[in-house]
């Protein structure tokens, strides 16, 4: 396993863990009673385990060979036009959507639409990272955001927050397991 792969895995897992933590905390804090504590504990534990794995991969990268095979360093996906366009479009869409929904009296639909916008942004990551898992994540986010519009407004925040956290965790698990298996070889 090369240092490039390990650093990439560490970065992807870290980003997913952080955003899952943010989504999960948002959803957990919208719960009441014992459910709140249980959800908070699960969110912190799962994101913490992923952060630990990311740190492990980052440390192993320092001692791994630089390249294998062709010797050419793959392009940084975070520097590709697909990634940048995806990110900029998402950041522009957030305030526009919020303003349009507020003006039409549909403030209750802002969070579901944000989840859909985040999901659409993952479509740009498919080509940037050359990984089809982002298409699955995009579809799951869009489906969750759309279905949540059928829920009572008071249930949307916990469902969306915890649902997005679960999607991000599931999206990064194949990379984490694959990287762990390769380290054990």
How far out from the chain centre does Cα 96 lie? Answer: 22
Per-residue pLDDT, averaged over 37-59, amounts to 96
CB count within 10 Å of CB 31 equals 17
Query: Does the pLDDT of residue 84 top 80, yes or no?
Result: yes
pLDDT band (50, 70, 90) for residue 65: confident
User: DSSP code of 74?
Assistant: P
Per-residue pLDDT, averaged over 2-8, amounts to 84
Determine the pLDDT at residue 71.
58
Determine the pLDDT at residue 66.
73
Nearest to 172 by CA among 122, 126, 137: 137
CA dist., res. 30 & res. 27, Å (int): 5
Determine the pLDDT at residue 63.
81
Determine the pLDDT at residue 139.
98
Per-residue pLDDT, averaged over 137-149, amounts to 98
Burial level of 99, CB count in 10 A (0-12/13-18/19+)? exposed
Q: What is the pLDDT of residues 17-32, one digit of tens each?
A: 999 999 999 999 999 9
Q: What is the dihedral of CA 18, 6, 67, 129, to 10 degrees?
A: -40
Per-residue pLDDT, averaged over 175-181, amounts to 92
What's 6-24 look like in SS3? HHHHHHHHHHHHHHHHHHH
Those residues whose C-beta lies under 8 Å from the C-beta of residue 42, and which sit 6 or more positions away, are 24
DSSP 3-state of 99: helix
Determine the pLDDT at residue 68.
59
User: DSSP code of 80?
Assistant: S
């Amino acid at each position: 396993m090369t240092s490039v792969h390990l650093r990439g895995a560490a970065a992807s897992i870290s980003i997913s863990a952080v955003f899952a933590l943010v989504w999960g905390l948002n959803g957990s804090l919208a719960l009441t009673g014992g459910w709140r504590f249980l959800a908070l504990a699960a969110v912190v534990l799962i994101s913490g385990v992923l952060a630990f794995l990311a740190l492990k991969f980052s440390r192993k990268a320092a001692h791994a060979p630089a390249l294998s095979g062709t010797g050419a360093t793959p392009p940084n996906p975070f520097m590709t036009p697909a990634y940048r366009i995806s990110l900029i479009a998402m950041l522009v869409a957030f305030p526009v959507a919020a303003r349009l929904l507020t003006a039409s009296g549909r403030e209750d639909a802002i969070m579901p639409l944000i989840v859909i916008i985040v999901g659409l942004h993952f479509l740009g990551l498919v080509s940037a990272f050359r990984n089809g898992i982002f298409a699955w994540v995009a579809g799951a986010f869009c489906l969750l955001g759309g279905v949540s519009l059928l829920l009572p407004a008071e249930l949307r925040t916990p469902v969306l927050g915890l649902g997005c956290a679960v999607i991000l965790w599931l999206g990064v698990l194949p990379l984490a397991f694959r990287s762990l298996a390769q380290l054990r070889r």
